[in-house]
A and B are shown apart, each in its own frame.
Chain A
Amino acid sequence: MGQITLNQITKSFGDVQVIPPLDLQINDGEFVVFVGPSGCGKSTLLRLIAGLEDTTSGEINIDGRDATEVPPAKRGLAMVFQSYALYPHMSVRKNIAFPLRMAGLDKAAQDAKVEAAAKVLNLTDYLERRPGQLSGGQRQRVAIGRAIVREPAAFLFDEPLSNLDAALRVNMRLEISELHQSLETTMIYVTHDQVEAMTMADKIVVLQAGVIEQVGSPLDLYHTPKNKFVAGFIGSPKMNFLMGGYAAEFDATTIGVRPEHLSVSATEGKWQGKVGVSEHLGSDTFLYVDIEGLDEPLTVRSSGEVALRHGDIVHLTPDPEKIHRFDNQGLRMA
């Protein structure tokens, strides 16, 4: 079981309130991702759930039990840190066995569990090594191993992949997703990378300045962002925003169009512009088109075969079904 409910949680450091009253429901077995720009309070929120920080007010409920005052060791949660936080003076075996040793398990039971975890994580050959002798990816796996042997109610991940190189990050992302599918345990994952959020999450929590902007499935957030912030944060490349006359035409203060919802034509279209930069990725081409009266170029996602170059005149047409309209508060209009 791993149901976590946050009830009017707040956190202040001195006079600064980093998390204003916040409610959140995390269901058993869910993969929840907290995402937001740096300093948005997502790590603090995770540390509040872990018990590494005390809440200023409000209640944290884990599996129906009030855990607000319960010390981290007794919450039944396991955490994987950004820096891995392995014990450098212990072998991999001892690192993974540490939580079991603290729980008072006998040696044979410890060994059996460590071996089983090592097998799942491909660490069997490295059990006698020290963390200092492992690569970044292996260290991360040891940290995950240390978390899974506890059979926790929920796993907490604090930006676990940010210290890995790009290729390894994709691999570990898959491994964590697979782990979630096989264990079916609640996972809470903090990241600033919206791609990680979109690919891994059952439910994404978008945070800004300690406030939850929106909670929903990755596709919910993509298709119906509640406000401009979520619309701009989710999706890559970023959504284009147009204001002034361009928006007035649609009875809105701002309209948003995703790069993949703009069609390009050399001869006719709604908005005319000039190609600034074009990025050819093979599968896709990203065009940055300068339009008269707009401060920033519009990003367009086009097919890989598009042969447009710097200075070419193009015409862009948005898919009318896919235009997002926002009012003067930046909120989504029906």
Chain B
Amino acid sequence: MARSVTTRRKTINTAVAWAIGFLIFFPILWTILTSFKTEAQAINDPPLFLFFDWTLENYAVVQERSDYMRFLWNSVIIAGGSTVLGLMIAIPAAWSMAFVPSKRTKDILMWMLSTKMLPAVGVLYPIYLLFIQLGLLDTRTGLTIVMMLINLPIIVWMLYTYFKEIPGEILEAARMDGASLKEEILYILTPMAIPGIASTMLLNFILAWNEAFWTLNLTAAKAAPLTAFIASYSSPEGLFYAKLSAASTMAIAPILILGWFSQKQLVRGLTFGAVK
């Protein structure tokens, strides 16, 4: 028997859900609001919520002081490049783990994931030295590679779960039909896993876009993405809240819009395997 849900209960649930949603979204909302205030209003006590003199001045100043488009372009290249590169490596890797597993497959998967538990700063020094040696410091190539490597375990894991859902017999049929390994992956596996691959791409893109530790430490001016752009507006004195907020809003806007339009894919990607 289904649990009876009264209208009142439904209303309460909805209200609670909205309240939690609002709480989570509040910092972002506050950042956006602050970006439209003057510096004085931004630090006003008590805080001003909606009734202040709305201004676009901060955006004008930020745009004047630094070249937003250059940072944006760096972000797009690094996030996009690392995602594509990651998929090229992860698809064959996940294929072999899902369809020709060995005794050690589970261990390898766990080991890959365990690298994500390592504090990033623990390997900053060796990677920094490597970057100097290889001349990769402050290059988009270098950052793309690092970004790809740190997200690779997640991409492989996600693709592995998607691929596990595909019946092996279909791939065997392709093999019987004369498909080589490359053709089997290209014409059968990939098209069948498109929804999974799409949500993996999206999630990875967002993770790479938001990543700040490596981008801040390995770039200076040339390859700096939007995270570095935000950081350049924070000062220890905290005097420029409004401008910092304007910069932050500009940095998160593209990914916020992308996320909004791909909600369905993202939710599916994040809950895959957990909910069937």
Point out the residues of chain A lying under 8 angstroms from B175, CB to CB. Answer: 52, 71-73
Q: Which of A81-89, A164-172, A235-243, A292-300 contacts B (4 or more CB under 8 A)?
A: A81-89
Q: Which of A1-9, A96-104, A204-212 contacts B (4 or more CB under 8 A)?
A: A96-104
Shortest distance from the beta carbon of A260 to any chain B beta carbon, whole Å: 39
| Bound complex: CA A71 to CA B175 (Å) | 9
Q: Does A146 contact B (CB under 8 A)?
A: yes
Find out whether the CB atom of A79 lies under 8 angstroms from the CB atom of B183. no
| Bound complex: CA A81 to CA B175 (Å) | 13
Q: Does A187 contact B (CB under 8 A)?
A: no
Find out whether the CB atom of A79 lies under 8 angstroms from the CB atom of B192. no
Point out the residues of chain B lying under 8 angstroms from A150, CB to CB. Answer: 177-178
Find out whether the CB atom of A98 lies under 8 angstroms from the CB atom of B172. no
Q: Does B67 contact A (CB under 8 A)?
A: no
**Chain A residue nearest to B180 in the complex (CB):** A73
**How many residue pairs bridge A and B at CB < 8 Å?**
59
Q: How many residues of A contact B (CB 8 A)?
A: 23
Which of B173, B187, B194 sits near A85, CB closer than 8 Å? B173
Q: Does A77 contact B (CB under 8 A)?
A: yes
**Chain A residue nearest to B176 in the complex (CB):** A79
Q: Does B170 contact A (CB under 8 A)?
A: yes
Q: Does B135 contact A (CB under 8 A)?
A: no
Q: Does A190 contact B (CB under 8 A)?
A: no
| Bound complex: CA A98 to CA B191 (Å) | 14
**Chain B residue nearest to A79 in the complex (CB):** B176
**Considering residues B177, B179, B180, B192, which has the most beta carbons from chain A within 10 angstroms of its beta carbon?**
B177
Point out the residues of chain B lying under 8 angstroms from A88, CB to CB. Answer: 170, 192
Q: Contact string, B171-209, partner A, CB cutoff 8 A, digits 1/0? A: 011111111100100011001101000000000000000
Point out the residues of chain A lying under 8 angstroms from B53, CB to CB. Answer: none
Query: Could you pull out 10 A-B pairs where Cβ atoms are within 8 angstroms?
Result: A52-B176, A73-B175, A73-B176, A81-B172, A85-B169, A87-B173, A87-B192, A88-B192, A102-B177, A150-B178
Q: Nearest 5 CB-CB pairs, A to B?
A: A102-B178, A85-B173, A99-B177, A85-B169, A73-B178
> Could you list which residues of chain B lie within 8 angstroms of chain A, going by C-beta atoms?
167, 169-170, 172-180, 183, 187-188, 191-192, 194
